[in-house]
Structure 1
Amino acid sequence: MAEIRSDIDVVLECVKCQLKSPTALHQSLMTLSGLFSSDEAKDYVRESGGLLYLYDLLRRTDFPNIKIATLFCLASATEKNVFSQTLLTQHGVFRVIHDSLHSVISSDKLRQAAVFLLLCLVANNSQSQNEARESGCLADLMGMFRYSSYGTQKLVSSGSSVITEARQFGLVTSALSVSINNPQNEENQRLCSTLLPHIFSLVMRVSEPQALCPVLSLVGVMVANNVFNQDRVKKCGGLDTLGSLLCNLSNRSTEEDCLTTAVQVVGALDSCLTDNEVNINKLGEVCGFGPLFSLLTPGLLSQQEQLQVVVTLSHVLQDNSGALAGVSAENYQQLVCLLTQAQDEELVKALKYVLHIIQDSECDKQTAQPEVKPNLK
């Protein structure tokens, strides 16, 4: 650890001495960012005053490359470090990020670096989530997401512009997700729900899994435990879109990419359906629940992926006689077969719970049947 501290001190001193040499300063900042691979290093640069010095440098510099390197350095120093997050959770920091995202003259690299710092500050931090909203950073992210062209055309993986666009789209989507989830932030969820019509329009046009899966994950966290957003999904046609997509993907279960995307669709649907009988019934009208059982065909999914499908089934079937009526004896036997093969403890619990729901439903049906009196004549 002493060696790392010495390296940080030396490189920080280089940064301070190279303020009039942008090229050398840029190199020193990138070298410094590479030293923050441990919590001990992150703690040291914070405790020695280096973190606030870098923030001051970010505010004062007019060189775009230095801004990019400083943003990246700050992000590396705060990533997954609660104390460094707390120190930089200041309105001024978010204002600098907002200016970088909002300015029409900002380059893609500058925006990416700003989004990366925002992502590191907001993750698992409710105060930073609020700062992101109040400073306009969340609105900036929404605008970048809405106007991104990534995923709407056939991707050419070798094109540098596509790689840049993909990286930015992934960062923006991740930053949006952590701004509204873990911890759940209902105000940010509601603000981001204005993106839902655009998201479902995008889902209908996108075919590339690497673009589609992050969007589906965003839908899941945007709607989770939020009745208002669940209702908004239904009103903007999201259940029709997700249901149709699930049917299509489950019919192409021999393609690995389709299975991966299908599990993501199930996760998004789970958030839309949990504790919402109206949405469950609507999905039943769109595609039924057969695709969920199709995905549970032995050999298709890993046990962790099967768990997502089974948990969704439990939310669909619980206290819903209409959904339970669609469960066939074949479906029941399929779940029993999965239970005998399951090794994952959580999957075993989920399967037993779903089977219990179905068994209770059958018992209730038998109890409800009128008693047939024998004909004694």
Structure 2
Amino acid sequence: MECIKCQIHSPAAVKQALLTIASMCSTQENAKDILRERDGLKFVLNILISDTDTGVKEAAMFALGCAVESNVFSQKQLCQRSVFVYLHKLLSSHQSGVRLIQTASFFILTLTTINSMGQTLVRKSECLEVLLELFKSTLPVSASVRKKPTVDLQSTELWTNVTSALSACVNNPQNEENQRLCSKVFPHAFQLLQDGTESHVLRPLASFIGLTVANNVLNQDRAEQCGVLEVLISAIDRVLLRSSQYHSDLQLAVALTNTIDTIITDHTRNAARCGSLGGIRLFLRLLQTELEPSAAVQVVLTLAHCTDDCRKAAVVYMIPMCMTLYSAGIHLWCDARDV
């Protein structure tokens, strides 16, 4: 901080010092507490708000994000309405470049993760609305278009950051109002899922949908009405049909299965719909692959939720096979616990 004070008129020196602070906070947990206790958070925040150099702003936000990440006391100090209002200004300004918006999204992610106050402020400051617009506008809907070399890598990275921030805004802890607002982009999210195979798109997308739907009956209904079960089952099928299944492919299939689980848990109609679409057979196929124990247990739990209270003959016919796999899943779970 003293270095910054001495070279405050040199953007390059200030930026480098801020990045050093960010690095220290990322690698040393006690550095976050030291920075806060010495009024470093306020100091860096003042630089962010007052400096006009874009590079310095990016470095200041990144440093603040690293400083509050997984630190309740630092989160609490920076969870102010004025901070979110300023972030809204950056996110919505046409003069803000991709890197600046990307860094602002990361900062919001760190402020809202496991923090109900941050979740409330992100909504009341209308940052959430801007993030939802960015979610819809920064990534092409068509998978074939996304694979073209003309698609900017920075835009894809921005979309990933925005999606991660949205995921933090809706759950852990659950925020029903934010979940309701985020359900507005379900049609667009499901279009992205429609024919995609890219793990770097499908994994954050599956996480966002799952967290937005979890423990929310209205959103479970909305998701099913938009046809997401068909889309998710089709996506898992595409992954399993690949000629060579890598570990990352199986991880993706399990992530998509987890999302289905949030849609059908404690929702009899959705569970029955999943079964009628061939979800049970698909999960059984997935269990026959080389899954890690924890992943296999998750798939078994999804199977259990899918067959719960289901009376259809097709499902009853498959119950003996399911029970065998449940038993195998329990053994896997016990083995994982022993490890």
Question: Do both proteins adopt the same fold according to a TM-score greater than 0.5, normalized to the shorter chain?
Answer: yes
Residues 1:262 and 2:259 aligned together: no
Q: How does 1:336-351 map to 2 (within 5 A)?
A: 336-339=327-330, 343-344=334-335
Q: 1:162 to 1:47 in 2, by over 3 A?
A: same
Contact 1:272 1:279 in 2 (8 A): yes
Q: Secondary structure at the match of 1:249?
A: helix
Q: 1:97 — aligned with what?
A: 87
Deviation string for 1:96-131 (max 9, x for gaps)? Answer: 111111101101111111111111111110000000
Contact 1:43 1:84 in 2 (8 A): yes
Equivalent residue in structure 2 for 1:52, among 34, 42, 56: 42
One-letter identity of the residue aligned with 1:75: G
Q: CA deviation at 1:136?
A: 1.2
Equivalent residue in structure 2 for 1:223, among 213, 219, 232: 213
Mark the runs of 5 or more structure 1 residues left unpaired by the alignment: 1-11, 348-377
Q: What is the distance in 1 between the residues matched to 2:174 and 2:81?
A: 21
Deviation string for 1:294-323 (max 9, x for gaps)? Answer: 1111x5211111011011112122233337
Q: What is the distance in 2 between the residues matched to 1:342 and 1:238?
A: 29
Structure number with bigger Rg: 1
Q: 1:32 — aligned with what?
A: 21
Q: What is the distance in 1 between the residues matched to 2:78 and 2:279?
A: 49
Q: What is the distance in 2 between the residues matched to 1:97 and 1:231?
A: 33
RMSD of aligned residue pairs (Cα, Å): 2.3
Residues 1:309 and 2:304 aligned together: no
Deviation string for 1:141-171 (max 9, x for gaps)? Answer: 1111111226733547xx7974423322221
Q: What is the distance in 2 between the residues matched to 1:340 and 1:135?
A: 49
Q: What is the distance in 2 between the residues matched to 1:201 and 1:161?
A: 18
Q: What is the distance in 2 between the residues matched to 1:286 and 1:345?
A: 31
Q: What is the distance in 2 between the residues matched to 1:330 and 1:75?
A: 49
Q: 1:246 — aligned with what?
A: 236
Q: CA deviation at 1:75?
A: 1.0
Residues 1:113 and 2:103 aligned together: yes
Deviation string for 1:36-81 (max 9, x for gaps)? Answer: 2323211111111111111112111111111111111111111111
One-letter identity of the residue aligned with 1:308: Q
Residues 1:14 and 2:6 aligned together: no
Contact 1:253 1:300 in 2 (8 A): no
Q: How does 1:54-203 map to 2 (within 5 A)?
A: 54-149=44-139, 152=143, 153-155=145-147, 162-203=152-193
Q: 1:339 to 1:66 in 2, by over 3 A?
A: closer
Q: 1:61 to 1:325 in 2, by over 3 A?
A: same
Task: Tell me the number of residue pairs that the alignment of Structure 1 and Structure 2 aligns.
Answer: 333
Q: Secondary structure at the match of 2:277?
A: helix
One-letter identity of the residue aligned with 1:182: N
Structure with greater contact order relative to length (CA < 8 Å, sep ≥ 6): 2
Q: CA deviation at 1:247?
A: 3.4
Mark the runs of 5 or more structure 2 residues left unpaired by the alignment: none
Q: CA deviation at 1:32?
A: 2.2
Q: What is the distance in 1 between the residues matched to 2:279 and 2:74?
A: 49
Q: What is the distance in 1 between the residues matched to 2:59 and 2:128?
A: 22
Contact 1:150 1:211 in 2 (8 A): no
| TM-score, length of structure 2 as denominator length | 0.91
Q: 1:372 — aligned with what?
A: none
Q: What is the distance in 1 between the residues matched to 2:129 and 2:19?
A: 29
Q: Percent identity?
A: 35
Q: 2:199 — aligned with what?
A: 209
